[in-house]
Structure 1
Amino acid sequence: MDSFGDPNQQEGSLTSADLEQSGEQGPVNGPVMLNESVCSMVLQILVPFLLAGLGTVMAGMLLDIVQHWIVFQKVTEIFILVPALLGLKGNLEMTLASRLSTAVNVGRMNSPREKWNMVIGNLALKQVQATVLGFLAALAASVLGWILDRKLTLNYAALLCCSSVVTAFTSSLFQGIIMVGVIIGSKRAGINPDNIATPIAASVGDLITLGLLAVISKVFFYSIDVSPYIVYVVCVLFLCLTPVWVIISFRHPESRRLLYGGWEPIITSMVISSLGGLILDRAMTDPKLMGAGIYTPVINGIGGNLVAIQSSRIATYLHFHCSLRELPEHAKGWYFPTRTFCGRGPNSRTSQVLLLLVIPGHVTFLYIIYLMQGGHTSPTAIFISLYLAAAFTQVFLLLCIGDWMVHCLWRCGRDPDSFSIPYLTALGDLLGTGLLALCFRLLGFFSDEDNQLGD
């Protein structure tokens, strides 16, 4: 965990970064990490998990509607933006949630001065990152779209940039305020924020971001023919606010450190998510894959949600029990997937619980989509089997990769709270979108076989 630079920091609450800088060896002292029963853990995870799932279902329903809007039909590169912008919750919101959850658990938000320094610095940093990521995601979508189709005009590229920047900025600010309230509230209620903060970030993130992107891009699309300069002016205005947020975040030691060194994971994850967006763009323009749109936020959101919980919990455990660059005994040696689910470590039980939530959770969300008459695909036994197999494979791989990645980052001297979740949620987007496209390809193959047998 990063140091938050409070001069009144209490003795015994040093972070691993502090210990490394001072040359001391040993785990973080201070508050004792509480042991949770399986029942308590499941109850704390289940409700936010269901809320997050409902949020992704609503986002999927919204995507199923807006994909037919003229702006999405004319500027199909917006589909490339969707996973990248929805991935902001993994790049920024979930990372913020994980960082602040660890701070709460190790007693670094006990004094009002520490708390508000941390909050203000992190929110300002998030606005800088959101603006830059939104702009870069739009540039990536424009370049990929031009390479594939060579039809993107300058005005449409400006529309993508402006819509992306405004959406990222507004969504990040709103969700950041919600996250701070949730984490401070969970501390007062005696609930482990590691269990609830990241799912709640997921529950509101997709729907808010997708809704903003759809409305903003539609407004700019209709105004671009009448007054094309509006798009350019608005985009430049939001970009010009970036130095203000840089100055604010620079005043706080922790956010200053991340301002210098926190760009690698979020930019890399944005590129990975854009590759998932490329798959989605192809799916949305392929009649055989059109039905995948409604399920994309669901499978991506739930996978990222579950692995973010696990990543946050492992990071908290390492902060409590190990010095930076040192691993606990159960995590030393070669990595094997059995360690994640059947190992001696305390987080193996959590992995089992999270993996067991996948099938019943997705069945519940599929049933909700069916009741709401969403999508273009009938919930046949073949489709449900293929979809559940894709979702289970995605989460299994993410939990294995997450276990390995968090420990590797810690061993390399990097804080997993700031580095792991962006990579993992981006991989979740890529795996989820790719496996879902494969699922629909196989569904089309089986349907063609049935038609041939019927003939």
Structure 2
Amino acid sequence: MARDSAGNLKHRKINNEKLTSNKSMVEDGNDFEEDENSLSSDTCVLLNRGGGQKTDVVIVEKEPLWATAIQMFIPFLLAGFGMVAASLLLDKVQHWPVYQKVTEVYILVPALLGLKGNLEMTLASRLSTHANLGHLDTKKQKISLITGNLALILCQATVVGFLASVAAVVFGWVPTGVINIKHALLLCASSVVTAFGASFILGLVMVGVIMFSRYLKINPDNVATPIAASLGDLTTLACLSWLASLFYRTMESHPWLTTVLIILALLLVPVWAYIASQNQYTHTVLFSGWSPVITAMVISSIGGLILDFTVSQYKGVAVFQLVINGVGGNLVAVQASRISTELHSISQPGYLPRHMQVCISPCAAFCDSQETSHAGTAKMLMLMVIPGHLIFSYTISYLQAGHTSFTFIFMVVYLFAALLQVILLLYIAQVMTLSMWKHEIDPDNSAIPYLTALGDLLGTLLLGIAFQFLYLIGDRDSDVGD
């Protein structure tokens, strides 16, 4: 397979006779090197041995960084404005009665938004890999991939949404020692119905985005994951807030409503599980993909606990929380998806190409000048952080949203926190993705949930520290503390 000028993979097969006459290969385990005169240095080759005398040569050429930058930046901006919209929405709904009376909803926000981001971005990453490998080129494969993956994310969303509500109830019970049954049912119903509905809508949108990307000959890895994250945040937060408010208003008049919806959603889980188990593309993921999303949900819930505390101290946190978390999650998901696609293209699980190493220094992760490294993409993604946050912050300021004055010292501290978050995430992404591949774990299904959850936790923690630091150095105006 070779990438075209847009960075998409192209299939090319060379038989043994042509290979013998034109190419000189050296075999070493699962790695194959081509004669330097045959292909350029940015070309990786893998021999896939089949039956008989035929040998397929898979060639992957790295796309130019300028093409990657253009393809990434526009979706990144669109995704960022989606996150700004979600942040503005959170800034408004934090004053709704349900958020004031049932404060555990704050714990649900990062957990559910993280869940949606995880499911939609892993869906986008899986479909992007299949698209780049040519598995979406026939109608039969297309229908099978779409059906199986939609059933899979509906099953995962319902179960993990239920577990997220349980975690919110437990985290809410710890400081008080009291569980309000009506509030617990409200949280559970809101979480499960939101996860189910948003998964179905966003799953269809992601399929459309990837198919449209293929039609325009754009690499889906660069486009799908940012759009998945941004649409997931806005859609999920809107659904959660509306449903929680609805259930809160009907809690006394229709107490049975939440119970019925919870039971109905859980009864549908075996149906989605059966459909996914019968599909060749999702059968394995159905049984192996639970640990990442559940662990990520727990990590995001801890972030929600931090958010619940910081919002009570600094109202200004709310409008920035989704932006800083979303930007970090988007950028690291793009990097993880690109590394995963390359690994799927040139190697087999359990075997790392010779130019890739798990244990690398932070300097090598960002400063390696070799064309085969991912340092160039990491630096490019890192360079998007400050311009992106400046644009998003100016938008928030222009709309006169939030509770924080946009002073010079505030922007310096905020941008430092955002940049530190992305640097940590990009380094962790490279180490984690390659380590998973070496241990025969598919990064498409496992890396992104952990990375986005860590992004939520780091973003919320660093943002809280930033606001505390501003308060300590004397920025104690009514905006920061209100």
TM-score by length of 2: 0.86
Q: What is the one-letter code of the residue matched to 1:325?
A: G
Q: Does 1:108 align with 2:135?
A: yes
| SS state at 1:331 partner | coil
User: Using the alignment, how far apart are the partners of 1:379 and 1:334 within structure 2?
Assistant: 40
Partners of 1:245 and 1:411 in 2: CA distance? 31
Q: Is the 8 A contact 1:340 1:351 kept in 2?
A: yes
1:310 counterpart letter in structure 2: Q
* Structure 1 residue aligned with 2:318: 293
- Structure 1 unaligned segments of length 5 or more: list them: 1-9, 13-23
What is the CA-CA distance between 1:449 and the residue it aligns to?
8.2
* DSSP 3-state at the match of 1:254: coil
Match of residue 72 from structure 1: 99
- 1:65 Cα deviation after fit: 0.3
* Other-structure match for 2:8: none
Q: For residues 395 and 177 of structure 2, what CA distance do their matches in structure 1 show?
A: 40
CA drift of 1:150 comes to 2.9
**CA distance 1:333–1:303, shift in 2 (3 Å):** closer
The answer to whether the 8 Å contact 2:85/2:234 transfers is yes
User: Which residue of 108, 131, 147 maps to 2:174?
Assistant: 147
Inter-partner Cα distance in structure 1 for 2:438 and 2:315: 44
Partner of 1:33: helix, strand, or coil?
strand
1:337 equivalent in structure 2: 362
Equivalent residue number for residue 415 of structure 1: 442
Q: What is the match of residue 367 of structure 1?
A: 394
Residue 36 of structure 2 is matched in structure 1 by none
Maintained 8 Å contact 1:127/1:245: yes
Q: Kindly state the Cα deviation for residue 335 of structure 1 after the two structures are TM-superposed.
A: 1.9
**Equivalence for 2:265:** 238
Distance 1:49 1:236, change over 3 A: same
Gapped runs of 5+ residues in structure 2?
1-10, 14-28, 32-45, 49-55
Kept after mapping to 2: 8 A contact 1:159/1:217: yes
| Pairwise CA distance, 1:184 | 1.0
Is the CA contact 1:194–1:312 (under 8 Å) kept in the aligned structure 2?
yes
Greater fraction strand? 2
Does structure 2 conserve the Cα–Cα contact (< 8 Å) formed by 1:83 and 1:276?
Answer: yes
1:6-36 Cα offsets, whole Å, 9 max, x none, are: xxxx997xxxxxxxxxxx9464667643432
Q: Secondary structure at the match of 1:133?
A: helix
The aligned runs of 1:175-186 (5 Å cut-off) are 175-186=202-213
Structure 1 contact 313–347 (Cα < 8 Å) conserved? no
- Output one character per residue of 1:98-135: Cα deviation in whole Å (capped at 9) or x when no partner: 11101111112221111111110010000000000110
SS in 2 for 1:374: coil
1-structure distance, mates of 2:132, 2:57:
10
The CA distance in 2 between the partners of 1:133 and 1:329, in whole Å, is: 38
Secondary structure at the residue paired with 1:84? helix
Are 1:432 and 2:432 an aligned pair? no
Q: Deviations over 1:310-332 (max 9, x none)?
A: 00000111112222211122323
Deviation digits for residues 326-355 of structure 1, max 9, x if unmatched? 112232363211222122334211111000
1:6 corresponding residue in structure 2 = none
Quote the offset at 1:38 in angstroms.
Answer: 2.2
Q: How does 1:260-299 map to 2 (within 5 A)?
A: 260-286=287-313, 289-299=314-324
Q: Alpha carbons of 1:216 and 1:376: their partners in 2 closer, same or farther (altered >3 Å)?
A: same
Give per-residue Cα distances to partners, 1:150-178, cap 9 Å, x unaligned.
Answer: 34400100000000000000001100000
Query: Using the alignment, how far apart are the partners of 2:193 and 2:316 within structure 1?
Result: 28
Aligned length: 430
Percentage of identical aligned residues: 49
Measured on the aligned residues, the alpha-carbon RMSD in Å equals 1.9
More off after superposition, 225-234 vs 363-372: 225-234
CA shift digits 1:285-320 (9 cap, x unpaired): 22xx21100101000000000000000000111112
Amino acid at match of 1:331: M
Q: Distance in 1 between matches of 2:453 and 2:64?
A: 31
Q: Quickly say closer, same or farther: Cα 1:448–1:46, change in 2 above 3 A.
A: closer
8 Å CA contact 1:122, 1:249 repeated in 2: yes
C-alpha separation between the residues in 1 aligned to 2:86 and 2:476? Answer: 33
TM-score (norm 1): 0.91
CA distance 1:333–1:64, change in 2 (3 Å)? closer
Q: Residue 327 of structure 1 corresponds to which residue in structure 2?
A: 352
The higher radius of gyration belongs to 2
Corresponding residue for residue 18 of structure 1: none
By how many angstroms is 1:89 displaced? 3.2
CA distance in structure 2 between the aligned counterparts of 1:49 and 1:66, rounded to whole angstroms? 25
2:155 is aligned with 1:128: yes
CA 1:450/1:133 → structure 2, altered by over 3 Å: closer, same or farther?
closer
- How far has the Cα of 1:149 moved from its partner? 2.4
State how far apart, in whole Å, the 1-side matches of 2:327 and 2:212 are.
Answer: 24
